Amino acid sequence: MEISFRHIAIHPHLRGLIEKIWILESAGRVPDRDLRLVVPNGMVKLIIPVKNEFIAQRNNFYKYSKSNQLTIVGINDIPFVVDTVEDLPFSTIGIEFSPHAAYRFFNFNLRELKNSIFHSGEVFGNNNFEIESLIASTTLIEEKVLILQQFLLALLNKSAEDKIFEYCIHTIKKNYGHISVKNLERKTGYCARWINRKFEERIGISPKTFCAIVKFQCVYQSVVNNPGEIFDEKSYYHTYYDQSHFIKQFKRFTGYSPSKFGRCKNIFGNISYLK
């Protein structure tokens, strides 16, 4: 079964604040043999099913998302499984907030969203009914995206920049996660306690966890595009201390050992990583 994934242009005033906007479409449910696994990537997401309903599963936790219903996915440091409710054609819109900027769209501590999925009414309150009605009023998926971008522009707090926090995020990404909190202390002049508190508030996880996700993402991108390399674990020793550390971190973020993951299909979860 073919799955279509395409990127959508980001409004000029949202560039740099939104990492990507995409549309995912398929003629039917992803086969059961596919893992349908979504791994942590360090970003808060806004997901809107257009056709069909979605269900997200993590251990014994289930969350349903109906068509044209806005769903907020908080930052995750554990994987979860996504599936459609019925074996019918599906399409969905995804908006991923840049790690340094998600806090500018939400007026609360983002730790409250960690490893959780919420209907947007629980997050945006009265504004939610109006935006979902507008989205449901058009059948064109591109028009739905335009409505969503206008909604995000209205949410954006233009006066809330936290330059030190944003500098820390950019520095971690520039160093591919290979930087300590102590090093961030030296670079910013702020203590570890202040940096940790800012990360918990602004992104929802600690700087140490964010570094771990950034490092993992570098490896995962390579694994998806070069599947055979996962069986040569030495390829990733430069990223981790040794083999056991690599296996432990890979299993932390996927739920599978590298060798077991390499024998599985995860077309649904990997499609956005393919080059």
The pLDDT value given to residue 241: 78
| Ordered structural domains, the chain, with CATH | 3-156 (2.60.120.10), 163-272 (1.10.10.60)
> Mean pLDDT for the chain?
90
In 3D, which of 132, 28, 137 has the Cα closest to residue 72?
132
Q: Is 148 exposed, middle or buried (0-12, 13-18, 19+ CB in 10 A)?
A: buried
Model-level pTM? 0.93
- How many other C-beta atoms lie within 10 A of the C-beta of residue 242? 9
Comparing 58-62, 176-180, 197-201, the range with the smallest average pLDDT is 58-62
Q: Is the pLDDT of residue 166 over 70?
A: yes
Taking only the tens place, the pLDDT of each residue in 106-154 is 989 999 999 999 988 888 877 778 899 999 999 999 999 999 999 999 9
Helix, strand or coil for residue 86? coil
The pLDDT value given to residue 229: 65
The pLDDT value given to residue 92: 94
The pLDDT value given to residue 14: 97
The pLDDT value given to residue 173: 97
The model's confidence at residue 253, banded by pLDDT at 50, 70 and 90, is: very high
Q: Is the pLDDT of residue 155 over 80?
A: yes
The pLDDT value given to residue 128: 78
Q: Indicate the residue type of 161.
A: E
In 3D, which of 201, 178, 164, 203 has the Cα closest to residue 19?
203
Rounded to whole angstroms, the Cα distance separating 252 from 40 reads 10
Taking only the tens place, the pLDDT of each residue in 57-88 is 887 788 888 899 999 999 999 999 998 888 88
Q: Is 174 exposed, middle or buried (0-12, 13-18, 19+ CB in 10 A)?
A: exposed
Q: Which helix (H) or strand (E) holds 275?
A: none
